[in-house]
Chain A
Amino acid sequence: MIEKKNHRLLIANRGEIASRIIRGAKDEGWHTIAIYSDADASAPHVLLADEAHPVGPAPAHQSYLNMDRILEVARESEATHVHPGYGFFSENPDFVQKIADAGLKLIGPSAAAIRAMGDKVAARNAAEAAKVPLVPGSPPLPADPEVAVEYAKKIGYPVLIKAAFGGGGKGMRLCKDVTELRSALALTRGEAGRSFGNDTIFIERALLKARHVEIQILCDEHGNGVYLGERECSIQRRHQKLIEETPCVVLDPATRKQMGEAAVRLALDIGYHNAATVEYLLDETGQPYFLEMNTRLQVEHPITEMVTGIDLVRAQLRIADGEPLPWKQDDIHPQGAAIECRIIAEDASAGFVPQSGPVHYARLPQGPGVRNDVGFLPGREISVHYDSMIGKLITWGNDREEARTRMLRALDEYLVEGVRTNVDFQRWALAHPEFVAGNTYTRFIDDHFRPEMLERPDLEADAAIIAAVATFRHRMGSAGAVASGTTGQSNDPNAPRVSPWKRARTWSGR
C-alpha cells in the first residue's frame, strides 16, 4: 500500500457507515477525520478515526446536519475530501455544491447529478430518455385531492403516494382504494415537507407481488461504467429494507444484463460518476420497472463486496481521485451468494417500535463467512436522536442455502443486552419456508408475519423458575444483589492469576 496521507478524508456521518468508510480509507492509506455530536463523543467511529472534531449537540439538525459547522471543521482540519456516507447530506445537492465551492472533493457524484436523480419526477424523465422501463405514474400533484383521485383511476389501484424528494423508504404510502388515498394525501405531503424540505408528491401504480431488485454500478470520471450484479431487497417493513441478498433467485442472465446495461446507460447519460444504485421492481412475470436511482453508497453495499471481492468504498475513493475504473464489464464475475440482515433496535412484536437506551453487554457473531458492520458499543447508549439501525450482519456462502444457514447460525450468536433488537425477527424471517423457497416479495412481512410468532414461551417458563429461585435465595440470605457471588475467580486460591489491568479491560468496561 502506498500511504496517501496528503489525502485527508472528512467523514460527514456517524454510526456503522462512518466506521466502514474510515476502514476503507485507511486501507487506501488516507488520513481520516471524524465528526461527532455531543452524544457521540466516545462512539466507535470516533475511536477509529485518526482525528475527530465536535460539531454540536445531540439532535442531528444541530450537529450532523449543521452544514456550516461541518464545513468549518473541514477547513480547520485541512480536509481535502469529504465522504457523506448515506442519509444526512449524502443526497443534498446544496451541501455538495458548498463542498465544491470550498475547494474540497466530494466522494460522490456532482450536485447536478444528485439534483437530477433526487427529484423523482425528473428521474423518471431521465430514465424514460435512457429507455429504462417505467411503472405507470402521475406528474407532481396539486393540493386538490381530486386530481390525485383522477390519476389513480387511470393508473389503477393500489397506488403508492411518493414524496418527490423522499428516499430510504420514507415519505411513501400505499393506498388500496380511493378512501385510503384521500386520507393519506395530506399526511404524506406533511411528512414530505418536514422530512425532505419539499412537499411535492406524486402517485405510481403499486406492484404488490413485486420483488425489489437493484443494480450496483460504478462510473469513473472518464465516461466508463460497470454494473456489479444485483441485490434483492424484498424483505421490507414500511418500505424500509430489512434483509438483502445477492444474487436474486429468479433473475435470469438476460434480464440481469438488460437491467445492468440500462442502469449504466442512465448514469452515463446524466454525466454521473462514483457509486450508485439503480432500483427496479420485478413483477410476477419477471419484468423489471425502474423505481429510482440512489446517488450514494447504499446501506446494503457489503453483500456486493462479498460476492465480487470489490471494496466499494475504496473504489469510490479512487474514482474521486481521478483514476479510471480498473475493470471492464467482462471482468466482473460474482462468486457465491451473500445475505445481509439489518440489525435494528426495535421491538418487532410491538409494531416494530424503535428502542433506545444503554447496551449493557453484546456478543457479536464471528467465524467463517461472517461480516459484522456495527455502530454501537456495549456500555454506550443507543440514542433516540439517530437511526435505529445499529448494525448489519452479513454472511457469505457458496450458494444461497449455505449463506442462509450461516446467517441463522450467526443470528443465534448475536446477543444484545439492555436494548431489544430485531434479531429474533430476522431469525423468524430467515427460517420461514417461503424465504427458504425464495418466494420473496415486498409485502412478504405484511402477508406472513404476525407478532405472536415471536413469542417465546420457553423463555417465560425459565424466567418463572429463575424468579422462584431468586426469591428463595433472597430468603435464604444470599446477601446482596441476585447476580452477586463468586465468579470462580476472586475467591478461589487455585484459580489462575489474572492481572487487574487485564480484568479492567473487559468488554463492557463496567
Chain B
Amino acid sequence: MSDSRKYQRFVSRVGEEQRTFDVATGESSSFWVKGIEKDAAGDPIEVSWNPIGHGRVLLRIGGRVRIARIAQSTPQEFVVEMDGRQIPVRADDEITARALLQKASTGVASGPSKILSPMPGTVVNVLVDEGESVAKGQAVIVIEAMKMQNEITAPIAGTVHGLKAAAGQAVEARALLCEIVP
C-alpha cells in the first residue's frame, strides 16, 4: 500500500538507546509514526494525542492506552512520566542527531568520575582524605537519610579530588561530594 503522507524523520534517544521514526500528521489530534529500524520497520502506527490537563496527555499508541505527564525542558528534551516512571528522552531531526553523535564520539573517553549524593541527607562520615587513592567499590562517604546510613562507594578506581563533604554537613540530592580521577 502506498503511503502519500508527508513524513519527517526524528531520532529519539533514551539513555544509550537510539530509535529513528518517521512522523506525519494524521486525523485531527493524531499522528502516524513509522519505526525505521530493521526489526521495527513496518506499517505506520497511529498515535492519538489528547491533553487531559495538568500537563498530562492521554495517548493511544497503536491501540495501547498510555497516560503520560510530559515536561519539556528544551524544544528537543523531555521527561516523560508514565506508570510512575520518569524517562528522560530527547528527539532531534536527523541532521542534528548525526551532528550530536559525531561530537560525542570525538569526546574524551574516560574523565574524572563525579560522586554525587544519591539523596538529600546528612554526611555522617568521610572515610577518605583529599588525594587518597581508592579502589573501585571502596566506601568513600557515609550519608544518613531518613534514619538510614548509606555508604557511598567509588564508581571507579582513582584519586580523591575536590572533596567537598564534611561530617555533619547537610547535602541535597545530586550534590557534588568529590571526584575520583582515574
B147 at the interface (CB under 8 A from A): yes
Chain B positions 48 through 62: 1 when the CB is less than 8 Å from some CB of chain A, otherwise 0: 011111111101010
Q: Which of these binds chain B: A106-114, A263-271, A294-302, A461-469? A: A461-469
With A462-B64, A465-B12 known as contacts, the answer to whether A470 contacts B72 (CB < 8 A) is: yes
With beta carbons under 8 angstroms apart, the residue of A353, A462, A487 that contacts B118 is A353
Whether B80 pairs with A467 at a CB distance below 8 angstroms is yes
CA distance A461 to B40 in the complex (A): 11
Within 8 A of A (CB), among B104-121: 118-121
With A467-B89, A472-B8 known as contacts, the answer to whether A487 contacts B147 (CB < 8 A) is: no
CA distance A386 to B59 in the complex (A): 36
With beta carbons under 8 angstroms apart, the residue of A194, A387, A468, A487 that contacts B23 is A468
A508 at the interface (CB under 8 A from B): yes
Whether B56 pairs with A483 at a CB distance below 8 angstroms is yes
Query: Separation in Å of the B89 CB from the closest CB of chain A?
Result: 4
Q: Which of these binds chain A: B14-22, B128-136, B156-164? A: B14-22
- On chain B, the residues within 8 Å of A360 by CB distance are 54-55, 69
Whether A469 pairs with B149 at a CB distance below 8 angstroms is no
Tell me the A residues contacting B by CB distance below 8 Å: 170, 187, 190-191, 194-195, 238, 350-351, 353-356, 360-361, 384, 386-388, 415-418, 420-421, 423-424, 456, 459-476, 481-488, 506, 508, 510
Q: Is the interface of A mostly helix, strand, loop or mixed?
A: mixed
B178 at the interface (CB under 8 A from A): no
B29 at the interface (CB under 8 A from A): yes
With beta carbons under 8 angstroms apart, the residue of A464, A471, A473 that contacts B19 is A464
Query: Separation in Å of the B178 CB from the closest CB of chain A?
Result: 19
- On chain A, the residues within 8 Å of B181 by CB distance are none
Whether B89 pairs with A484 at a CB distance below 8 angstroms is no
18 residue pairs from A and B, CB less than 8 Å apart = A350-B118, A351-B118, A360-B69, A384-B120, A415-B67, A417-B69, A417-B84, A418-B81, A460-B15, A460-B87, A462-B68, A467-B78, A468-B12, A475-B8, A482-B70, A484-B51, A487-B51, A510-B54
Identity of the chain B residue whose Cβ is nearest the Cβ of A415 in the assembled complex: B84
With A387-B146, A471-B91 known as contacts, the answer to whether A487 contacts B53 (CB < 8 A) is: yes
Whether A483 pairs with B51 at a CB distance below 8 angstroms is yes
Whether A356 pairs with B120 at a CB distance below 8 angstroms is yes
With A472-B8, A483-B69, A510-B54 known as contacts, the answer to whether A424 contacts B84 (CB < 8 A) is: yes
